[in-house]
Amino acid sequence: MHLISINDFTNKQIVKVLDLAEEIREHPEDFQKLLDGKILANVFFQPSTRTRISFESAMLRLGGKVINIGDMAMTSTSKGESFEDTVRMLDDYADIMVIRHFEEDAVKDVKSISQVSLINAGNGMDEHPTQALVDFYTIRREFKRLNSLNVVICGDLLYGRTVHSLIHVLIRFNNRIYLVPGGRRGLNKDFRDNLEYLYPDMTRLMLFPETTLFSRLYALYPEKGLKMFSSEYLRSIANIQIIRSSDSGGDIKPSVLYMTRNQQGTVPINEDAQEYDPYPVITQILLESKFFNEPIIMHPLPRGPELPVSLDNHPRSRYFEQAQNGLYVREALLLLMLNVVKW
């Protein structure tokens, strides 16, 4: 069994991962030796802190061992070996592999080659399924449910792979999603088309003109001091995208404000777009506004200026808890995908 896309798991399997993560959190001593004799290969061809280290910590806490491969220059790929051959070799050395690769298709292409389970830890700008599970676990711990929530996802929606996986999960569990792109980085057409194809009866993608959603936002917030949802900013992102369930009446007030960083340094930046479409920033004033005075603040990290350090002690900040939750969720994944705990 492989986890390449979040859609490789059924809803029942997702809930199983979250339930097991909670068991591990509450009773870690019951799981300490279950992976004794097992080896995890951490294969990271892109930088990582939380994902790589949380998988390593998870494996060690469960009694297993870890092989870390984090620098392509130190592998035979620098001599011209194909990624496929690298995976074939690691098949003989490890019982499960966690792979992060800068090419979107790399992990997909080797899943038919590998004889051990593969976990996608980020493939280019495509998906990050384990982060979506961590995010969903964090949301469930907060609200004690997985459905009927209003989630605002803000920032780099074009290149941010964490949100691509999270959007699928939120839709599948019948939540309403408000997408606010930064710097003209909304979801690309292929991704939107795929959502409409996968969920024709459950969701619809809508473009709201100023006379509907925008006018409601104008009435709710003063322009002064708001770097996000200001009148000027809203006018500049007339392509604001809203995904919601077909049964989507009622209050639009969000439960979650999920911010993502500008993928600067990872992808090419259009400086003109940045100049005319300022990147949204969470401010104290924003969190005191009528619309945003309740949602928890989430961020997959690492962060940039969009999430000021001054908010770290805010009572609704949950991003460091997200990072901690990654340990329990990834412990659960390892146990299930190694068939030590049954699905």
**Residue pLDDT, tens place only, 94-127:** 999 999 888 888 888 888 889 899 999 988 888 9
Least confident segment among 47-61, 63-77, 235-249, 285-299: 235-249
Taking every pair of Cα atoms in the chain, the longest distance, rounded to a whole number of angstroms, is 62
| 187 vs 135, more confident | 135
Residue type, 223: E
What is d(CA 276, CA 79) in angstroms, rounded to the nearest whole number? Answer: 44
> Kind and range of the H or E element at 272?
helix 271-276
pLDDT range class, residue 278, cuts 50, 70, 90: low
Dihedral angle over CA of 340, 56, 318, 21, nearest 10? 10
End-to-end alpha-carbon separation of the chain, Å? Answer: 12
The 241-245 sheet, strands edge to edge: 203-207, 241-245, 176-181, 150-155, 256-259, 296-298
Q: Can you tell me the mean pLDDT for 72-80? A: 73
What is d(CA 83, CA 76) in angstroms, rounded to the nearest whole number? Answer: 9
Predicted confidence at residue 27, as pLDDT, reads: 97
Q: Report whether pLDDT(195) > 90.
A: no
Contact (Cβ atoms closer than 8 angstroms) between residue 246 and residue 204: yes
Least confident segment among 20-34, 120-134, 216-230: 216-230
What is d(CA 231, CA 56) in angstroms, rounded to the nearest whole number? Answer: 46
**Which residue's structure tokens are 């930046």?**
269
Predicted confidence at residue 306, as pLDDT, reads: 85
Least confident segment among 20-24, 97-101, 148-152, 264-268: 264-268
- Tell me the two tokens of residue 63: 């009694």
- Of 113-127, 148-162, 207-221, which one has max mean pLDDT? 113-127
pLDDT range class, residue 184, cuts 50, 70, 90: low
- Tell me the two tokens of residue 105: 């298709």
State the DSSP code for 257. Answer: E
- Residues 297-333: tens digit of each pLDDT: 999 999 888 888 999 999 999 999 999 999 999 999 9
